[in-house]
Chains A and B, each alone.
Chain A
């Protein structure tokens, strides 16, 4: 359930409403009127799934709280020298991946997490921020972002965990054994690399994860 949650674009507007009502964040672009949301989800196959926020980003470093200042300028200049201005600018706009590598490795933009199963109804979500080589002055910002997003006292994860807990209780219900993961089936497309792409609120990632889970759990 937590791997699915890590790469689900639908729950944000509901589960994290407290945050959106309180402060501005890079996730602001994925709540509100569905038609104005440009982010997409991708099913890479074999259970690997991704949210791509970047179609919704216009400026650089929106994913990093619109970071600016001398340290950012030095970093930008260094990466432009290394990769060329065009590639560098694109990376600064798009930001790092938000993806689940099947079965339990989560790349959460500037964080890395793993989901460790403990028992049928229990798992641990371990996380760490990424630190970037050569820019130690960014470590504080990356730490504060990790603490805002990922821990048991953060502004995001506790709400995910409690809703996951409620869902876990819901699994005990015997009245309806099926849960339909059909959202967006009618508007998925396949891109040139064979990946299934759809609107960020669609259950494309959930389907991708569970299709593959079923496949690997069914093999003799």
Chain B
């Protein structure tokens, strides 16, 4: 169990993170990470996947998260040029205390993406996100974000945006 105040702060963080990703506000989204952040989107829905043995859609250390963002900022990342129009709902938030004063938040999301880069296709994405959060200079930051899509192991359309 965590305090009401912590729960509220975590929920606010998750909503903000979702909105920055939805609105392609890349620099602000990147600023939500700790220096040792790991961004992980497994390519399987099996329990306890091992990213050192199994392929992932995304398994970025902090340097690769920055590369991902820089690509999107070049203006020639054609798979997100122009950026998809997106809105996601974040719900079913559960927060637990973890080691070192960190907080771990599980949440479900449903994301509507209008992929406008070739045709104009509406894609629905759904899954569960797990955020590990740490206070840095009084502000919550992500040290780990794991996104397990319900269709993680199926053929997917482009996932070049920030999920």
A-B contact count (CB 8 A): 85
B59–A147 contact, CB under 8 A?
Answer: yes
B127 in contact (CB, < 8 A) = no
Which chain A residues in 130-169 approach chain B with CB under 8 Å?
139-140, 143-144, 146-148, 151-153, 155, 158-159, 161-163, 165-166, 168-169
A124 in contact (CB, < 8 A) = yes
Q: Which residues of B contact A140 (CB under 8 A)?
A: 52
A18 in contact (CB, < 8 A) = yes
Interface-located stretch among A19-27, A29-37, A75-83, A93-101:
A19-27
A89 in contact (CB, < 8 A) = no
Which chain B residues in 1-58 approach chain A with CB under 8 Å?
41, 43, 51-58
B136 in contact (CB, < 8 A) = no
The DSSP consensus for interface residues of chain A is helix
Expressed in whole angstroms, the minimum distance between the Cβ of B5 and any Cβ of chain A is 35
A159–B78 contact, CB under 8 A?
Answer: yes
Q: Which residues of A contact B98 (CB under 8 A)?
A: none
Kindly list 9 other residue pairs between chains A and B, CB separation below 8 angstroms, not including A152-B157, A153-B57: A21-B76, A22-B70, A128-B55, A144-B59, A144-B64, A146-B55, A147-B59, A153-B41, A161-B157
15 CB-based A-B contacts, threshold 8 Å:
A18-B77, A21-B76, A144-B59, A147-B58, A147-B59, A151-B43, A152-B157, A153-B160, A158-B80, A158-B160, A161-B157, A162-B79, A165-B117, A168-B118, A169-B118
